[in-house]
Amino acid sequence: MTKQATPTLAASLVGMSVLRVDDIPLLTGAGAYVGDVNRPGQVWARIVRSEIAHGRLLRVDVEAARRSAGVVGVFSGSDTPDVRIPLRLEWAATEATRAALQPPLARDRVRYVGEPVAVIVATSQYAAEDAAELVVVEIEELPPLVETRAAAENAHTVLHQTVGGNIVNRLVFGYGDAEAATRSAAVVIRERMDIHRHTGVPLETRGLVAEYEPESGRLTVWGPTKVKHFNRSALSGLLDIDEGRIRYVETDVGGGFGVRGEFYPEDFVIPWLAIRLERPVKWIEDRHEHFVATNHSREQSHDIELAVAEDGRFLALRDRNWIDLGAYVRTHGLTLPVSTALHMSGPYAWQALEIDSSAVMTNKTPSGTYRGPGIVEATFVRERLIDRAAAELGLDPAELRRRNMVPVEALPQRIELGHGVVRFLDSGDFPDAWDTFLEQAGYDDLCAERDAARVRGEHVGVGLAAYVEHGAVGPYEQARIVPEPGGHFAVSVGVSGVGQGVRTVLAQVAAQELGVPLEDVTVSHHDTDTIPGGFGAFASRGTVFGGSAIMLAARDLHKRAAAAAASQLGVPADEVTIEGARASAKGRSVPLLELGCAGEGRFEKATTEASFGASLALVALDPGTGKIDVRRFIVAYDVGRAVNPELVIGQLVGAAAQGIAGALMEELPFDETGQPLCTSFVDYLMPTAADLPYIDALILEYPALGNPLGARGAGEGGIDGTGGSIANAVADALGAAGVEVRALPLRPEDVKRLIRLAAGE
Amino acid sequence: MTRRIAIKVNGSWYEGDVEPRLLLSDFIRDVAGLTGTHVGCEHGVCGACTVQLDGAPVRSCLLLSVQADGREVTTVEGLQNAGGALHVLQQAFRETHALQCGFCSPGFLMSLEPLLRADGPAELTDAAIREALSGNLCRCTGYQNIVAAVQLALARRRGAA
Ligand code: FES
Ligand code: FES
């Protein structure tokens, strides 16, 4: 793709790969991440965490720590208010779900290694760490629950007494008569499938700085992003402080991926300390803490069954699954089971669907949403089984998929799955998108390449995955545009930046709609003081919601300016033309700035935007080392309308890279006592440049009908099919032994075992 | 127990009474106040903290500040040319979208800068660049635009030579 310099012509801004507006500070060291925020008189917090996975908390002795040099204060659970970190997403939550919410500091039990039990505040980070070593935590150990299905069935050891078991909700989703449909099937594939624990791991760990001004009663919090308005209201509720007195300031962010910026225990503790001590308090998570404290994700187990007719028509999909939520329900509540169920259908038409999902508590770090939550998992289990069905029916896997895609005539389609979950497909053309993908990816050529390699005796395979992501979640977003001196426009909007370039994309939309050059627009989303409300950055919503709200605000500004100019110039409003920063009529003109008007826009939408996606992997297995060499990886994704194609490609490629590593390398294992085995970059295998292939990303643009921009999400689509297509490629490379590919990750030791199986050993 | 040390960072001397255990990364960030050097792991794997010590890339989280006493450190803030123009590598990063969150970028720039010196290689294959990058982690980009940035910078330097 060709690159363009920053254009000054506004007309074609949307759709142009302009350079990002924020890059120069980030490249010259002038960025300001939370670790770079320092306040006069600040003190440092250090969290003391449980080293035991499950037990009764008998005593937290802080006396020696309190006497340590530089210590300002030491607090344990009994010193803090008896509150729980609240739900942000309430769907399908019950009383049992809420009974498993987390206290900021453990009170009478500890339930995972890494659970906060005390906090040290000292004059330096070093002093705080020294003192943390002196805290004595006495725990009477209880049996740890580590394995998900075993925990679900265990009636003797229960993590949360008031829940009454280790399942915080069991949800049944679906429609149609799956049992009858299955009875009429020619082929039924049943399998147990498992996905391993891994997570987002942004390069910057979490951090917070909080400052309280006793005179004014104002509390300012730097650092959290993603959902700052929710976090502000949550903190306001927990501290019983009026929301208007709390200010959240977003800093530059070293990656989000779903895990950063949720309201965590520390998001209560650090502001609470700032008030209690009346001093600015700073906390920066270290990498070891990050691996035990920040949300994990992905760990699921499925008993899945696919029923297919003789002609290849999909009849029913039945799935019983166990979603491991770790030790507590965190802010996204039951999003993982809900999203897994919502995305189980993929782009296909099913006569019947039945999903029985248990959200399970175990003595491990709590799990939350990580880029493509539930989508990666659902796509892996479904797409693997589709390949098995294709093999049984003797059909090409691409053809079997194509035959079952929801046809364009069936759109829009709305299917209730239960518990308020709706599969809504508004527009697009799945079969056409699939054909385009196969052609552009060179599917036939890659299959020929595979066949030729096999003749040479190589273990090479091609794997496909198709999926639909229901992204761009509402409920609404609002924007405000104010003319400023010099022909500038200040745009404020309630979304969040997580390092993805959303400010550039929103500036493009604003400039285009206002008819001004990009450099005349400044977008801000950083400060809750200037933006009254907003929902932040999740579910690939920033461009769709932020962009649409900005379009409406720009139109509103033009309407108001035309009216004001009309009365000032003494002409009817429809004779006023607005060009850039001036309104004119009959040869006279007036700057918008002097008209004293601002534009407001609020974009609301109850439904999601569904995006079609597909990926293809070509892999070669090394029988000696078991290493999987991903020779080609191609992803295609429907973004409706690409505001900045290069940035979209950057999102797709970056997401695919994470997913490939998630399928092959990354893992968060625990031993049978609940001890985490990966707590540093030495054990957790993050992919380097040498580990990853070149990734091809194709942008598909089937305009969305539900928003003025015509856009769909882009942030997550690159990851959704990674596990599925890679597992299918590995299975293809193994031939008959490919049926054994039923779990992720696929590490070298797994591949060696499978190759021995394939060789009949 | 503290010790008085002086480190020349980007051409200016910074002095401090430091504990012997103070990491070089903390000296740079807290004593010199240069926050472009980032800390992603503090155990020597991610490379975000990479600076140059007497011209050679090092991980500042693996060195004690006392080890740099009297020596010269260059950080990302010292990479721009006199006059403030972006270094050829910074410019190439910008044009090829080699950064998203940017947290890793200072480390990559300081690791890669020697490749762009007068005595650096004229050309490199993508595979060789990937090897050269493999001591630094980036979680956002999948690396391929960073490879493209190095290729662009090398091409520009060849053109200028
Ligand atoms: S912070 Fe030094 S290598 Fe990660
Ligand atoms: S750009 Fe985010 S870690 Fe590299």
Q: What is the pLDDT of residue A228?
A: 82
Question: Do B96 and B73 share a structural domain?
Answer: no
| Residue among B39, B46, B104, B112 to mutate when testing ligand 2 (max atoms within 8 A of CB) | B104
Q: Which of B79, B105, B124 is the last residue of a domain?
A: B79
Distance (Å) from CA A573 to ligand 1 centroid: 61
How much of chain B exceeds pLDDT 70, in percent?
99
Question: Do A392 and A314 share a structural domain?
Answer: yes
Question: Do A483 and A461 share a structural domain?
Answer: no
How far is A605 from A192, CA to CA, in rounded Å? 38
Contacts A29 to B, Cβ<8 Å = 34-37, 75-77, 106
Residue B10, domain CATH? 3.10.20.30
Contacts A28 to B, Cβ<8 Å = 36, 76-77, 79-80, 86, 90
Residue A251, domain CATH? 3.90.1170.50
Question: Do B71 and B7 share a structural domain?
Answer: yes
Domain count, chain B: 2
Q: What is the pLDDT of residue A309?
A: 98
CB contact under 8 A, B103 and A203: yes
Question: Do A593 and A611 share a structural domain?
Answer: no
H helix intervals, A278-359: 287-293, 335-342
Give chain B's radius of gyration (CA, Å).
16
ipTM value for the complex: 0.97
8 Å CB contact between A203 and B40: yes
8 Å CB contact between A258 and A336: no
Domain that holds residue A375: 300-472+607-758
The residue-averaged pLDDT of B17-36 equals 97
Question: Do B123 and B96 share a structural domain?
Answer: yes
Question: Do B70 and B8 share a structural domain?
Answer: yes
Q: What is the pLDDT of residues A39-84, one digit of tens each?
A: 999 999 999 999 999 999 999 999 999 999 999 999 999 999 999 9
Question: Do A42 and A20 share a structural domain?
Answer: no
DSSP A419-477: TTEEEEE-S--HHHHHHHHHHHHTHHHHHHHHHHHHHTT-EEEEEEEEEEEEE---SEE
Check residue A620 and report its DSSP letter: E
Question: Do B18 and B57 share a structural domain?
Answer: yes
Is there a domain that residue A467 lies in? yes
User: Token pair for residue A673?
Assistant: 């006592």
Question: Do A15 and A121 share a structural domain?
Answer: no
Domain count, chain A: 3
Q: How confident is the model at residue A706 (pLDDT cuts 50, 70, 90)?
A: confident
Contacts B98 to A, Cβ<8 Å = none
Question: Do A479 and A390 share a structural domain?
Answer: no
B104 lines ligand 2 (CB under 6 A): yes
Is there a domain that residue A167 lies in? no
Residue B153, domain CATH? 1.10.150.120
Q: What is the pLDDT of residue A606?
A: 79
Q: Residue by residue, what is the 3-state secondary structure of A598-618? A: CEEEEEECCCCEEEEEEEEEE
Question: Do B103 and B63 share a structural domain?
Answer: no
Q: What is the pLDDT of residue A6?
A: 38
Q: How many CB atoms lie within 10 A of CB A108?
A: 10
Residue A7 reports pLDDT greater than 80:
no
Distance (Å) from CA A204 to ligand 2 centroid: 9
User: Token pair for residue A680?
Assistant: 């540093």
Question: Do B93 and B74 share a structural domain?
Answer: no
CA distance B119 to chain A (A): 24
Residue A522, domain CATH? 3.30.365.10
Question: Do A501 and A365 share a structural domain?
Answer: no
Place of tokens 């903390």: B26
Distance (Å) from CA A620 to ligand 1 centroid: 33
Of A372-381, A421-430, A492-501, A621-630, give the lowest mean pLDDT range. A492-501
Residue A501 CA: which ligand is closest?
2
Question: Do B101 and B148 share a structural domain?
Answer: yes
Q: Which of B44, B61, B79 is the last residue of a domain?
A: B79
Q: Are strands A488-493 and A476-484 parallel, antiparallel or unpaired?
A: antiparallel
Q: What is the mean pLDDT of chain A?
A: 93
User: Which helix (H) or strand (E) segment is A619 a member of?
Assistant: strand A609-621
Q: What is the pLDDT of residue A22?
A: 85
Question: Do A372 and A429 share a structural domain?
Answer: yes
Residue B119 reports pLDDT greater than 50:
yes
Domain that holds residue B139: 88-158
CB contact under 8 A, B45 and A653: no
Question: Do A112 and A43 share a structural domain?
Answer: yes
Query: Which of the two residues, A250 and A324, has the higher pLDDT score?
Result: A324
Is there a domain that residue A98 lies in? yes
Of A94-103, A638-647, A677-686, A706-715, give the lowest mean pLDDT range. A706-715
H helix intervals, A530-579: 547-569
Q: Which of B79, B114, B142 is the last residue of a domain?
A: B79
* Cα dist from A495 to A43, A243, A330, A541, B74, whole Å: 31, 18, 22, 8, 36
Question: Do A641 and A502 share a structural domain?
Answer: no
Q: What is the pLDDT of residues A187-219, one digit of tens each?
A: 999 999 999 999 999 999 999 999 999 999 999
Which candidate, A518, A527, A706, A681, places its Cα nearest to that of A611?
A: A706
Question: Do A519 and A554 share a structural domain?
Answer: yes
Q: What is the pLDDT of residue A470?
A: 93
